Amino acid sequence: MSISCLTTTRPLQSLTVKLRRTSQDKDILMYPDISPASEHQRWSVRKDAGNVTLGLKDIRLSDDGLYYCQVYKDQDCLHETRFNLK
């Protein structure tokens, strides 16, 4: 499953991507790579054809919930995408 978070011409290396679940007060994934290794097996960040995209594999019943993906350039939030997994 892939979720598009932002369309941009900026290189992915110049951005920070954060994934959070609204019911938790911690980042599930943060790019560049400072999130737990266990989450990197399930979530990934990539840029294809100008789209910053989250990838999720091995979806589980426990993943059900509302999430948001934030894309930053330095301290400025460029875009926030909310999505619901069911």
pLDDT score, position 34: 62
pLDDT score, position 26: 78
**DSSP per residue, the chain:** -EEEEEE-SS-GGG-EEEEEETTSSSEEEEETTTS-HHHHTTEEEEEETTEEEEEE-S--GGG-EEEEEEEEETTEEEEEEEEEE-
pLDDT score, position 28: 84
Token pair 């948001």 in the structure block, residue: 68
pLDDT score, position 15: 95
- The bridge status of strand 2-7 relative to strand 16-21 is unpaired
Q: Which stretches of the chain score pLDDT less than 50? A: none
Q: Tens of pLDDT along 37-56?
A: 655 578 889 998 899 999 98
